Structure 1
Amino acid sequence: METTTALFYVFSAILLFAAFRVITARSTVHAALFLVLAFFNAACVWMLLQAEFLAISLVLVYVGAVMVLFLFVVMMLDFNVDALRQGFWKHFPLAGVVGVVIALEMAVVLLGGFNLADAPAPTPEEVQLGNSKLLGIEMYTNYLYPLEIAAVILLVAIVAAIALTMRRRKDSRYVDPADQVKVKKADRLRIVPMKPEVQGSSAAAAAESQATTGGQA
């Protein structure tokens, strides 16, 4: 057995174990950490297939951003895990059957596209450039317009998400930055002249003191 084949079986076994522990772990933090382990092993499998761009994208996007954010959310919020796990083993056989059917369907679809006999052999120049550089050249030459359209769609999605979270609500306090910039000193501080007033026992003491002073005079 070659080293590449042995590493593929090792990474695949760890990947399957981690994926199984994601849905069976009792702690949500442990489940998220097992999912990080699964992503790392999937990236290693991509590296064995010489798909460096997909491997580094999987690590940077999912492990470095999505899963870290998910871990922070899980650790900050108090989830009732027992309520979420009610009926898990009752529905597990049906979920397993559905998962096997989906896996078989994906295998049937994908195996038809992996006809290595018809695949063109890479040229020495392509081998020297590497997978990531060739992918970049292909994206920014033949697929430049679809890439720009996808970028615009993602930008619109980001703006829409910000607009949904920044909508005006009665229970939220919102300050307009433009109003803060245009503020003047007179808007912040206003001096109001007031006459001194004495109330309660202080007024009685002041009246008694004035009466005493008048009598002595």
Structure 2
Amino acid sequence: MDVKTGFFYLFSVVLLFAAFRVVTARNPVHAVLYLMLAFSQASAVWFLLNAEFLAIVLVLVYLGAVMVLFLFVVMMLDINIDTMRKGFWKNFPLAATLGAIVALEMAAVLLSGFRLSQAPAMLAGAVPVDNGKALGILLYTEYLMPIQIAASILLVAMIAAIALTLRERKDSKAIDPSIQVKVRAADRMQLVKMGVTQPAPAPAPVAPVEESK
């Protein structure tokens, strides 16, 4: 067994363990951390399979943005774990059924859709390029128009989200910087002269307690 095969089995074992802990961890924060570990191991496996573009996208998009944001959301939420556990066995038959269906579909695809065969031979005189460069050339030559349309839609969505967020609302606590700069200290605080000592207040009279006969 060579070094590449050894790393493949190492990353695969860690990936399976992390994926198992994602669904079995009781703490949601721990589940998110295990999911981040699973994504990192999947990225390493893709690097071994010479899929550099997919590996880098997985790290940048999921580990660098989605999972970090999800981790902060889970940490800020006050999740009652005991309440979540009450409906576990109630929903377990449905979850087990769906899991079995997904496992059968994956087994059918893996057993029938992938066959061991030799890689296609490279054409004579062709310059070898990595998959990232080949994908970039394909996207910006043959699929240039769909890429431009998708970029325009995302730009319009981003501008719309900013416009909806920055609109004037009655419950907004935004402060005008020009008004804030013109504020003087005398308008914000007023000094009141008081004596150094103040006489102690007179004690309140205590009503006599009648003895019971």
TM-score for the superposition, normalised by structure 1: 0.68
1:62 alignment counterpart: 62
Q: State the shift of 1:93 in Å.
A: 4.0
Q: Which position in structure 2 is the counterpart of 1:152?
A: 152
The structure that is helix-richer by fraction is 1
In structure 1, how many angstroms separate the alpha carbons of the residues matched to 2:154 and 2:116? 35
Deviates more, 1:22-31 or 1:6-15: 6-15
Which segment is superposed worse, 52-61 or 104-113? 104-113
- Give the Cα separation in 2 of the matches to 1:82 and 1:146: 48
- Counterparts of residues 186-197 of structure 1 (less than 5 Å): 188=182
* Aligned counterparts of 1:105 and 1:126: Cα–Cα separation in 2: 39
Cα shift at 1:151:
1.2
Contiguous gaps of at least 5 residues in structure 2: 184-213
**1:13 counterpart residue number:** 13
Asked if 1:29 corresponds to 2:29, the answer is yes
Query: What are the equivalent positions in structure 2 for 1:27-176 lying under 5 Å apart?
Result: 27-106=27-106, 108=108, 114=114, 120-123=120-123, 125-127=126-128, 129-174=129-174
> Cα offset for 1:98?
0.7
Quote the RMSD (CA, aligned, Å): 3.2
- The separation in 2 between residues aligned to 1:146 and 1:112, in whole angstroms, is 33
Shift of 1:5: 4.0
C-alpha distance 77-151 of structure 1, shift in aligned 2 (>3 A): same
Q: Is the 8 A contact 1:21 1:34 kept in 2?
A: yes
Q: Deviations over 1:119-165 (max 9, x none)?
A: 643457453x2121111111111111111112112222323333443
Give the aligned residue type for 1:98.
Answer: L
CA shift at 1:81, angstroms? 2.6
Deviation at 1:167, TM superposition (A): 4.6
Call closer, same or farther: CA 1:59–1:118 in 2, change over 3 Å. same
Change (3 A) 1:97 1:7: farther
Provide the TM-score with structure 2 as the length reference: 0.69
- Percent identity of equivalent pairs: 62
- 8 A contact 1:126–1:134 mirrored in 2: no
